[in-house]
Amino acid sequence: MGQANCKTCNCNHREQENEFDLKVETKQKSLEENPTKVPKTLSNLPVSFNLRKVEPFIVKLQAVWRGYRVRKMLKKSKKRIRFADDTKNQTSKTKVEKLEYGTYTYSSGAVYTGYWYNKDRHGEGRQIWPDGAKYQGQWYKNKAQGHGIFYYSDGDIYEGHWQEDRATGKGLYLHSDQTIYKGDWVNDHQEGFGNEIWPDGSEYFGFYTKGKKHGFGKYTWNDGRNYIGYWADNKISGIGKYTWTDGRNYNGQWLNNNMHGFGVYIWKDGRKYEGQYLHDKKEGQGIYTWSNGKKYRGNWKNGKMEGKGMMIDENGQQKEGLWKEGKLVKWTEDV
């Protein structure tokens, strides 16, 4: 049987054929290096068959040979092949970081159980203090960092994000009296936007600074009263509207939980006051309107009509007069 049919059989002639192809390639290379030895015609080649039939095998063998040489060079140089998603500057000489798990008792009596790296608490771990306080969560370079839960010795619980041993980021704080705060934290203080709910049902939505209500927010008391407006240092201060359960409301300026500055106070029966306030009382110029349309326009002091003022009846008739502690002293002129 001729070798031309060995491509489809399982005989041993294939190995002989490959060996022969390698000899042909070697011979061809030597001819290229010594052009003076190249035969003038293909018929003078020292093989007994047509080179064109062997050429595909030679090309394949050359590819295999080149791959073998590349692999051999890489193995000899001991270098890693880097891929596009490899870490920057990563080489075979990079030290492999290993986390160890264990328990350690500090001189203070606190006990840590979890992962370590270079003698630092690093990774998931739990620490318990002698007074019963406990932290369970993530650590980074010996400090609480990442998500974790802290159980205080007085019964309070904080769950959320930590940064360098301090509550920073989003978190939920549950007081022992069941008061709940959920929102932003910075350096162990409520900072940013949050929602706080008290055991009696009162609730606050708004902004905080250093643990206190500060900025715009809404507070709703458990009896239905509510305030929407600005706060400063945990007190109502700035512009805001306070609504009582009996229908009254005040919309205006505030200072330290008191109506202070200009504002409008409206009663459910239609009465209204527009004017100045000082420490929660009418003070300065203001207009008081009764439910029947009658008005007083003039000066106020300590929440009462004081000094010059004008009374305007429901028909528009005006009279000027003098008042003392809310009582008319005399009419001074008809207008």
What are residue 231's DSSP bridge partners? 215, 236
Other CB atoms within a 10 A radius of the CB of residue 14 amount to: 13
Between CA 183 and CA 185 the distance in angstroms is 7
Task: Please give the DSSP secondary-structure letter assigned to residue 9.
Answer: S
For the chain, the domain total comes to: 3
Instruction: Please indicate, yes or no, whether residues 309 and 278 belong to a single structural domain of this protein.
Output: yes
Instruction: Please indicate, yes or no, whether residues 246 and 327 belong to a single structural domain of this protein.
Output: yes
Instruction: Please indicate, yes or no, whether residues 233 and 122 belong to a single structural domain of this protein.
Output: no
Identify the pLDDT of residue 38: 39
Instruction: Please indicate, yes or no, whether residues 214 and 115 belong to a single structural domain of this protein.
Output: no
Among the candidates 86, 107, 137, a domain finishes at 137
Identify the pLDDT of residue 62: 57
With residue 192 as reference, give the H or E element that holds it.
strand 189-197
Instruction: Please indicate, yes or no, whether residues 206 and 220 belong to a single structural domain of this protein.
Output: yes
Between CA 297 and CA 283 the distance in angstroms is 13
CATH number at residue 181: 2.60.450.20
Instruction: Please indicate, yes or no, whether residues 118 and 172 belong to a single structural domain of this protein.
Output: no
Count how many Cα atoms sit within 13 Å of the Cα of residue 330 in the half-sphere of its side chain: 2
Instruction: Please indicate, yes or no, whether residues 153 and 124 belong to a single structural domain of this protein.
Output: no
- DSSP 3-state assignment of 322? strand
Given its phi and psi angles, is residue 261 left (phi above 0), alpha (psi -120 to 50 degrees) or beta? left
The answer to whether position 46 is within a domain reads: yes
The answer to whether position 161 is within a domain reads: yes
Local mean pLDDT, 10-residue blocks, the chain (335 residues): 40 39 39 41 40 52 50 38 28 54 96 95 97 98 97 98 98 97 97 98 97 98 98 98 98 98 97 98 98 96 96 94 95 73
Other CB atoms within a 10 A radius of the CB of residue 179 amount to: 15
Between CA 262 and CA 251 the distance in angstroms is 9
Between CA 163 and CA 156 the distance in angstroms is 19
The answer to whether position 3 is within a domain reads: no
The answer to whether position 89 is within a domain reads: no
Instruction: Please indicate, yes or no, whether residues 142 and 286 belong to a single structural domain of this protein.
Output: yes
Between CA 197 and CA 128 the distance in angstroms is 29
Identify the pLDDT of residue 58: 52
Between CA 310 and CA 236 the distance in angstroms is 33
Spatial contact of 258 and 280, defined as CB atoms under 8 Å apart: yes
- DSSP 3-state assignment of 83? coil
Identify the pLDDT of residue 17: 38
The answer to whether position 5 is within a domain reads: no
Instruction: Please indicate, yes or no, whether residues 292 and 170 belong to a single structural domain of this protein.
Output: yes
Among the candidates 137, 152, 171, a domain finishes at 137
Instruction: Please indicate, yes or no, whether residues 258 and 185 belong to a single structural domain of this protein.
Output: yes
Q: What domain range includes position 33? A: 10-77
The answer to whether position 248 is within a domain reads: yes
Task: Please give the DSSP secondary-structure letter assigned to residue 153.
Answer: T
In this structure, what are the phi and psi dihedrals at residue 9, rounded to the nearest 5 degrees? Answer: -115, 180
Instruction: Please indicate, yes or no, whether residues 130 and 253 belong to a single structural domain of this protein.
Output: no
Instruction: Please indicate, yes or no, whether residues 288 and 142 belong to a single structural domain of this protein.
Output: yes
Identify the pLDDT of residue 76: 39
The answer to whether position 1 is within a domain reads: no
The answer to whether position 235 is within a domain reads: yes
